[in-house]
Amino acid sequence: MKHFVRIIAAASAPLLLSGCFLLPGKFDANLKILDGDRYEFSYAGEIQITLPDEGKAKKPSSEPFDPDKLKCRDRVYKSNGEVDPTRPVYGNDYDQYADEVTDTGDAESESSSNRLYDVVARECTADEIADRKSQYDADQARKQKRYDEEAAMAGALFGGPIPGDEESLKAFAAQLGKYAGWEKVEHAGGNIFNVEFRETGTIGNYFSFPVLPDAQMQYPFFQLMRRNDGAIELLTPSIAGQGGLFNMMMMKEGGGKGAPEISEIDGTLTVETNGTVASNNSADGFVESGGMKVMQWKIGKNAESEDGPRVLIRF
């Protein structure tokens, strides 16, 4: 088990570093496994791309440096009139002297009378403006470079969409809607998509949902895999119950500071088959209806198990 955890952690390292995951939101999924070689699958609901971790680069402002937002002051010592320029403050930067500034000629307040100096506002010099502009431009260039690098990483992982970038998310929805099975793909705001997917086909050796075109990494919610003896196994690697390993890594110790921002996962998976259910981990097992065995799982906030849905079917 420890070896398995190490493998999962290593495989997930790029995801954890980027803070990016593909997850379901609220959804209803239905899967039929028929005659040992056919499937019918539908998914209606939300798919979401997580935001980068708190503290990761955000898209920097394109606002140019504004000299009018630069505040310059002097400390004027009462004992000898010595003037000591303070560090200029730009815009909403931390302002140590915000509550101490006076204009020349203002009446002395009770609080200022106890200080050894007055903080007096003045016009900024040309050198101060030039120095602060140079610093501002360098900071903006650094932020833009970091954002571009992280955006490129996220775009490559997901095949185009960049978490937090509305234009790329809308373009991704339009592109994904061109592929078979995707009957509806709408950007719902934030990093959430409302989707309707429906597909029927032969299982062969493998089936997976979702599959993202051009993505360097895939994040399957549901997989069908054929064993050597012909049995079909359902796996759910990217979804699990309340305490699943994947979700625990995502939440990073309870969703505290540094955790990716995600919306609530709340879904239902229904599986039907005309085969023999060799094993399954649904809360109530299966029921028979119209010649089919029917199993159902709640996923996310109402999950009844820490494990993701799993079933083995023989024909």
Report the alpha-carbon distance of residue 47 to residue 40 in Å, rounded. Answer: 20
- Strand ordering across the sheet containing 222-226: 206-209, 222-226, 232-235, 311-314, 276-280
Structural element, H or E, at residue 264? none
pLDDT of residue 158: 65
* Contacting residues for 256 by C-beta, under 8 A, at least 6 apart: none
Report the sign of the C-alpha dihedral through residues 50, 154, 12, 208, in that order. positive
Determine the average pLDDT of the residues in 229-249: 71
pTM of the model: 0.67
Report the alpha-carbon distance of residue 237 to residue 290 in Å, rounded. Answer: 30
Structural element, H or E, at residue 226? strand 222-226
Task: Note whether 189 and 283 are same-domain residues.
Answer: yes
Among the candidates 81, 116, 145, a domain finishes at: 145
Task: Note whether 204 and 86 are same-domain residues.
Answer: no
Task: Note whether 132 and 246 are same-domain residues.
Answer: no
Task: Note whether 21 and 140 are same-domain residues.
Answer: no
Task: Note whether 45 and 90 are same-domain residues.
Answer: no
Average model confidence (pLDDT) for the chain?
82
Q: Which residue segment(s) compose the domain that 298 sits in?
A: 2-52+163-314
* Inside any domain, residue 83: yes
Q: Which residue type is seen at 291?
A: G
* Inside any domain, residue 141: yes
Nearest Cα to Cα of residue 85 among 115, 127, 113, 114: 127
Task: Note whether 138 and 82 are same-domain residues.
Answer: yes
In percent, the amount of the chain with pLDDT more than 70 equals 76
Report the sign of the C-alpha dihedral through residues 247, 249, 253, 255, in that order. negative
Given pLDDT bands bounded at 50, 70 and 90, which one contains residue 279?
very high
* Inside any domain, residue 286: yes
Which long-range contacts (C-beta less than 8 Å, at least 24 apart) are formed by 244-248? 244/306, 244/307, 244/308, 245/5, 245/8, 246/8, 246/12
Structural element, H or E, at residue 83? strand 83-85
Task: Note whether 98 and 36 are same-domain residues.
Answer: no
- How far from the centroid of its chain's Cα atoms is residue 191's Cα? 7
Give tens-digit pLDDT for 86-124.
Answer: 999 999 898 888 877 766 544 455 555 678 889 999 999
* Inside any domain, residue 223: yes
Report the alpha-carbon angle 266-15-309, nearest 5: 35
Q: What backbone torsions phi and psi does residue 210 show, to the nearest 5 degrees?
A: -85, 160
pLDDT of residue 77: 94
* Inside any domain, residue 112: yes
Given pLDDT bands bounded at 50, 70 and 90, which one contains residue 69?
very high
Residue 129: both structure tokens together:
């403006």
Residue 267: exposed, middle, or buried by beta-carbon count in 10 A (0-12, 13-18, 19+)? buried
Task: Note whether 169 and 288 are same-domain residues.
Answer: yes
pLDDT of residue 246: 47
The pairing of beta strand 182-187 with beta strand 192-202: antiparallel
**Least trusted range by pLDDT, from 13-17, 132-136, 180-184:** 13-17
pLDDT of residue 219: 80
Task: Note whether 77 and 186 are same-domain residues.
Answer: no
Given pLDDT bands bounded at 50, 70 and 90, which one contains residue 266?
very high
Report the alpha-carbon distance of residue 245 to residue 122 in Å, rounded. Answer: 58
pLDDT of residue 305: 83
Report the alpha-carbon distance of residue 293 to residue 276 in Å, rounded. Answer: 8
* Inside any domain, residue 234: yes
Task: Note whether 244 and 169 are same-domain residues.
Answer: yes
Domain count, the chain: 2
Task: Note whether 114 and 177 are same-domain residues.
Answer: no
* Inside any domain, residue 62: no
Q: Look-up: residue for tokens 């050597």?
A: 228
Task: Note whether 97 and 201 are same-domain residues.
Answer: no
Q: What backbone torsions phi and psi does residue 227 show, to the nearest 5 degrees?
A: -85, 170
Give tens-digit pLDDT for 192-225.
Answer: 999 999 999 999 889 999 988 877 777 889 999 9
Tell me whether the omega of the peptide bond preceding residue 210 falls within 30 degrees of 0, making it cis: yes
Q: Which 8-state DSSP code applies to residue 68?
A: G
